[in-house]
Chains A and B, each alone.
Chain A
Amino acid sequence: MKSSLSVNHLLGIKEINKDDIELILKTAEHFKEIINRPIKKVPSLRDITIANLFFENSTRTKLSFELAEKRLSADVINFSSSSSSVKKGETLIDTVNNILAMKVDMVVMRHPSPGAAVFLSKNVKSIIINAGDGTHEHPTQALLDAYSIKQKHGNIRGKKVVIVGDIMHSRVALSNIFCLQKCGAEVMVCGPATLIPKFIYQLGVKVEINLMKALQWCDVANILRIQLERLDNYEGSNSNYFPSLREYTMQYGINLDILNSLGKKITIMHPGPINRGVEITSDAADSEHSIILEQVENGVAIRMAVIYLLAGKAGQV
């Protein structure tokens, strides 16, 4: 097994290969053991400074990254702005270069614009970790989801995974598709046709608009949040991809009765935050089917692994 990633940044799962994914999961295994020790911290990255730049609201991803960085003993600075830097008059490149001028080694960035991390990696000299770029990718989420599936089922190869919900506006869906396919799983997307990109089948995923059929097919169901903030606003009018949350829940909401009616046990995942009672009810989210809290725990280990492996490339970008 190799000991170094093939990339200098983590911009998306699309850009990394199967060996990279395996190396990250393997490294995360090690860190997961560490964060369960009484002393949860290692001195690995004492000489590294990391900037967390969040141009879009985030609670758990930001906390998870910050915790991962601190457990590795890196110095951390945080920058949050709910509106993109452009609206404030400063360009993204300027914002980041200003922060890098303060001698920062690595940037973790969340941004509302697809491709923002790729764009940044071409324009500034720093290691970039994509913590979610618009509707493009959220690679660490996909890695922690893969890790969680592996932990629960022993392996990912051959597993049938359905992603349910707003596929069109989800970066989690896209990263999960790339990651699971690279690991040998079969992937299906399920949701109202209005929220599924018309050409997504060309990425080699199955498309199903009937929830029950999707659940009967799968081993694992990854339930996405309805991202009300991402439904696009065009000329002042919100687009109605579905008439009401109530109707969405009637067709695509998951509850314990549904899970019990399947005649088999499937694993329920959710990248959070959950809209309880919308895409999933509490009795299902908190049931034995669910590995939602394991996902959160694994998130820290995965992010430690990614940061640790990329920090080794600090002089190379």
Chain B
Amino acid sequence: MDLLIKSAKIVDPLSKHHGKKMDVLIENGILTSIKPQIPEQKCKTFKCPGLHLSPGWFDMHANFRDPGMEYQETLETGTESAMQGGFTGVALYPATHPPIDNKAGIDYIQSKTKKFLVDVFPFGTVSKGGSGKELSEMFDMHQAGALAFTDDKKSIQNANLLKIALQYAMGFNGLIINFPNDRTISRNGVVNEGKEGAETGLRGIPALAEELMVSRDLFLAGYCNSKIHISTISCGKSVDLIERAKKSGLAVSTEIASHQIFLDDTYIKIFDSNYKVLPPLRNADEIKALIKGIKNGVIDVICSDHSPEDEETKRKEFDDAAFGIIGLETCFAIANTVLRKIIPLEKIIEKICHNPRKILGLEIPEIIEGKKANFTLFNPDTEWIFSKNHIFSKSKNTPFEGVKLTGKALGVFNNGQWRECK
């Protein structure tokens, strides 16, 4: 597919064109020409006021439900929703049924997505069946292409299991990801422990549950001298702990889900399960601390934590409803809406494009002549109201319907394919 893009501001600190308004010509999937002016060609031309072009975005934390719960999300609908959100790459958590804990599972996802526009990278579980008991065959999965291992939102409760997993994965430079949630503290909690929790009678998840496990995991990684990625944090103290660990030289990275800095826990007062997420929505002070962590670089990655749930698991009493919301379509817009006046645009792009790939050891696409075309077109200033029409996920569990956002993906190009966003 050939395409001419007119007058796009390049956002790619690694490229000499960074910050300049350029015309970009793509022929046979390759960036063949990047110049201030390229005359119209036979191929399709894309132009749009306020156009920006960056290397293709990468979501480091998405859940598709294929195999096992295809009624919630398939690889096709999930990647469609990723493209609509501006992503050309996604890392998939093993939140499938059964959880992906062997080579066959990794192979299944890779073979099914081989010809997609979106590059799909499946993660495997750390433990067999994600049950937190014994190690899964991580090396075998690694050889098949698994870039990292995680027991997802279950969190590895047993300190020794995590210790062994960290040590074992060092043998093949595997990355272990753990979601910090000490369940002996969080128990059956469903919302942030705080004023709103006390007011609604909904059981609280104390920030302590996260902080304890973040410290434990940092100690374990320090002991093993291994790298570790701590997924979807939500508390200021976690940011402090990770900042200290980074300063001491530990190879730790971390992420937040973009909704975590947009929504606070006052929303739970209406008992709408579209505000039931894990980690729970925290209060304004925690959000402030997270934004500070983004600003000073402690938080490496902003992810979608895309968690599709169907109406049957969501439209229920709050206690009984599933955790999680979809997020691929809104991930960038939410982050950009909150952060645009706080950090430069390229810093936001770094966290949804460069850093996830760096952490996973993937090549970072560049906006340079002769390179393979893998980019996202967007306008960071577009104001739009997110509606049902913007949802391409098979599931509709989002609290953002009707919410005004700033910044929108306009199109993605990768693997020789072009998709315009709606």
Where the two chains meet, the residues of A that have a C-beta atom closer than 8 Å to any C-beta of B are 14, 84, 86, 91-93, 111-116, 118-119, 123, 133-137, 171, 174, 197-200, 202-203, 232, 234-235, 239
Contact = CB atoms under 8 A, between A and B. Distances in A.
Contacts, number: 80
12 contacts: A14-B199, A84-B317, A86-B316, A123-B315, A135-B203, A198-B193, A198-B204, A199-B197, A203-B198, A232-B188, A234-B187, A239-B187
A199 B271 contact: no
B201 A174 contact: yes
Contacts of A118: 270-271
B175 interface: no
A135 B204 CA distance: 12
A135 B318 CA distance: 12
B203 A115 contact: no
B201 A86 contact: no
B194 interface: yes
B202 interface: yes
A113 B315 CA distance: 14
B300 to A, nearest CB: 31
B411 to A, nearest CB: 38
B317 A137 contact: no
A115 B200 contact: yes
A155 to B, nearest CB: 26
Given A118-B270, A199-B194, A232-B203, A91 B316 contact: yes
A198 B209 CA distance: 14
Nearest to A167: B198
Contacts of B197: 197, 199
Chain B binding surface SS class:
loop
Interface in B300-353: 315-320
A112 B319 CA distance: 9
Q: Which 4 A-B pairs have the closest CB atoms?
A: A115-B271, A136-B201, A113-B317, A135-B201
A199 B202 CA distance: 13
B315 A93 contact: yes
Interface in B161-218: 183, 187-188, 193-195, 197-204, 206
A200 B318 contact: no
A238 to B, nearest CB: 12
A83 to B, nearest CB: 12
Nearest to A234: B187
Nearest to A117: B271
A113 B270 contact: no
Contacts of B270: 118
B87 to A, nearest CB: 33
B318 A234 contact: no
A234 B189 CA distance: 10
A200 B198 contact: yes
A136 B317 contact: no
Given A199-B193, A203-B195, A114 B200 contact: yes
A202 B317 contact: no
A232 B204 CA distance: 12
B195 A111 contact: no
A14 B188 CA distance: 25
Contacts of A114: 200-202, 271, 318-319
A118 B193 CA distance: 21
A213 B193 CA distance: 27
B311 to A, nearest CB: 10
A197 B316 contact: no
B188 A234 contact: yes
**Max chain B C-beta neighbours (<10 A), residue from A86, A111, A118, A119:** A119
A95 B189 CA distance: 26
**Max chain A C-beta neighbours (<10 A), residue from B188, B198, B316, B318:** B198
A113 B204 contact: no
Contacts of A198: 193, 198, 204, 206
Given A136-B200, A232-B187, A234-B188, A119 B317 contact: yes
Contacts of B187: 232, 234, 239
**Max chain A C-beta neighbours (<10 A), residue from B197, B199, B203:** B199
